[in-house]
Structure 1
Amino acid sequence: MKQNILKVGTVMGLLLLIGVFASCNDTKKNDKNQELGNIAQLEETTKKSVVELRKPVVFITGNDKGSSHFYDSARVYFKERNYEVINGKYSLEEIISWMNKNATKNPYGEVHIVNNNNPFKAMNLETVVNGEKVTVESLQKAINEDRLPSLKDEAITDSTKIIFHTNQLATNTNLINTLKSAFITENKIPQVVASPYYNIFGGEFSNHYLAQPYYVFYPTANSPGKVDLSKEIAKKYPEEKEIDWYDALNNEKERYVGEPYTIQYSIPVNLELDYHNSDNEIPHFVMQEEIMDFIASEEALMKEVQKTNIPVEKFRWTYIVKDSQLIIKGKSSALCVLKPLIKPYGDLEHVKPDTNNKRLYAMK
């Protein structure tokens, strides 16, 4: 009898344990199912929150002149990448208006602005249609006076990149920040990306590459000659040991990958003083030195020259008197030696202009 009771007790215990284990397994299954359900719900929510960006848009903001092929080459370069290329927009007003008009449910991811600028002058881009060229002062004035359209909030995200393909724009921090303010919306702040290097499109060995610039200046029409200029530029950049400056100044194109070569352009300066309400007489000058001394004595005029970062003696100065105005004009010739950026290892080739590379592009 006792044995039967013991057997019954054992069986009931086993059944109880089986029930407990079964209950645990059911609980685990329910927990696992709940966890999988949560993951699926999270994935679905994430999918909904991720906004699909439209393909990159490129604004070609100028036309080639003379033997230059900068804009045509840039147009080909970006079309080959299946980017949307927009022509005929020569001002920030037109660029922003186009972006607003063509905004979709998919915000802009990358907006490329191609502009062949002279680093010593205003950008070759208008603020508004037929308005002043873009400088810190002209652009800020246009923004303050509400002459620029505001970019639609839904047109961009905080990760949108406004990429300027220009020459050395990243070295002008004030202008970069002012350009950024032109693209800020009510709730979104895009990134503005530019390089401290020269942008070259349509090269002999690469369709697009970057180059380090080196400068030497002289008064226009008064060149001291390539020998003296090569000595001057060598003294100016003593850390650069790889360039034969005389050869580079006499070389007009890249004949092999990475070969330094020289481009040339003029930098004009116009200075005006109105003597209409002045007790002083309008001065007259005989020699260049007299004009330079006068400029140095006038703080406002000297500030205008200093904006170019070119010494006053590197300009050829002339002047005219028109009614009560003294108009002084200066012109400097710049020889710019360009040293293409090449990979430091492997095959001899240009460094790829990767806009995500912070060594090549500054991001504000």
Structure 2
Amino acid sequence: MFSYPPIDEEILALLRNREEFVVIGHVSPDGDCLSSQMTMNSLLLKMGKTVHIANAGPFDRSEIAYLRSDFLNHIDQDLKQRDPVIVVVDCSSPERIGHLAEEIEGLTTVVFDHHSSGEQFGTYRYIVPRSVSTTLIIMQLYKALDIEISQEIAEHLFFGFATDSGFFRFINAYRGETLRLAAELVDLGVSPNLMNDRMSGGKSLGYIKYLGKLIDRSESLFDGKVMISTSYLEDNKQYITTDKPSDSLYTMLLSVQGVEVVLFFKELEAEKTEIGFRSSHQSSIDVGALAESFGGGGHKKAAGVTLNKSIKEAKKLLLQAIETMLKA
């Protein structure tokens, strides 16, 4: 039975003894990243620390746009010269924090993460790849430091867990500890019913139409083992593309019989393409390793990367790599 390893005393002492902190998450933050940043921020505030939260963004999705003003976009020289401790959450490599990586060079850095792939970085690390979410790792930190988890914090912790677990869908056998942690949060006042509404409800008609277009564009490749879909810059003129439909898209395309891997290509600029990867639970394809080979990162079953290439070039590269993995 899995249990979380103890957190190094050096990390706990650092958090107790230093006075100023900056909490950073990865670019294009998702629910687990933002929830991890916010719960870490609250933990340090409860300890009486001075805390800043920073993220390179973007915050253009409607469900997170309101948070933009709460996050620093840069670490200025005045802040850096005060020598704050940098706490990086839900991030497997320094590249994943964007331009902030250069701005924190030389500062003491602690990494809390659950991604299995990526580049080891930071002065101290507490990385638990078997944790379903980074928020459940932050929950262990609350317990180790004996910090009370309020209902509001419990909701953030649960939201991060729910988004990364596909609302319990991605939890495997013999992982009862994950359900017990979720039960603790429910006992603290979290409503799974309301959380599900928050995750899946409130979508605009434009979102639904955009999702429908991406499904219509989907292609079946390699004898039905791979599905791909594509979003182009021109979609911005016709659809609301800031609300990411990718989670729903992945779920629907992976439900097609025989599909092992789904790739979603999104054209960000003429020579810049974002690629998301998902693989089925029955597939042997490690999309985290695939993403890492191109400078990205993630999990065995879910990962992503951004390439400074045209969408045509990105497709050619990734599909060649997938073909090689399928033949292995």
Query: Which bin holds the TM-score, normalised by the shorter protein?
Result: under 0.3
The structure in which a higher percent of residues are helix is: 2
Q: TM-score, normalised by structure 1?
A: 0.26
Q: TM-score, normalised by structure 2?
A: 0.28
Structure index of larger Rg = 1
